[in-house]
Amino acid sequence: MILFGKIALGLVGTAVAGAGILCSEGMVEVKVVQRQPEVHHVHVIAPAMLAPIAMHFAPRKNVSQAAAEIQPWMPTIRAALEQLRESDDVTLVEVKEPGEHVRVAKQGGSIVVDVEDHDDTVHVSTPIRAISSTIEQLAATAPST
């Protein structure tokens, strides 16, 4: 009985630790509301750590060109993300047109993109840490020169 208890405790501990690690980079939130032709709601919240992990398993031939192109810009991207992480919350870009509204902002530790037009409303929130690790992972797959 005690043995079963220990095993159960071990399993629960492992599950909690795994969940903790998985959520350590925050959560990616995607919310899409499609109004036409039919109303659809899509709401996904996923651990942000899945993105760099997915990059790790992405076929190299499919990402090698993007990786090679992003490589020279890595110092710029690193500097930008580091400064974004440290900066206060700010709306970076906002574009308004009749019936359309696009907003890119830094909110908390995340980059938030909101797009709204006649047909759809899209909200994407991604932790900056996850963006950073995903891009680092992508750059690491670049063929060495």
If the CB atoms of residues 49 and 135 are measured against other proteins, the closer one turns out to be 135
Min separation Cβ 127 and other proteins, Å? 18
Q: x/- string (CB under 8 A) for other proteins, residues 64-103? A: -----------xx-xxx-xxx-xxxxxxxxxxxxx-----
Whole-angstrom CA distances from 47 to 51, 62, 80, 114, 138 are 8, 24, 23, 20, 18
Cis peptide before 127 (omega within 30 of 0): no
CA distance 112 to 135: 17
127: Cβ contacts below 8 Å, ≥ 6 apart: 25, 26, 27, 28, 48, 109, 110
Q: x/- string (CB under 8 A) for other proteins, residues 21-60? A: ----------------------------------------
* 3-class secondary-structure state, position 126: strand
Min separation Cβ 107 and other proteins, Å? 11
Tokens linked to 105: 């902002």
Min separation Cβ 90 and other proteins, Å? 4
Min separation Cβ 26 and other proteins, Å? 21
Interface with other proteins (CB under 8 A): 75-76, 78-80, 82-84, 86-98
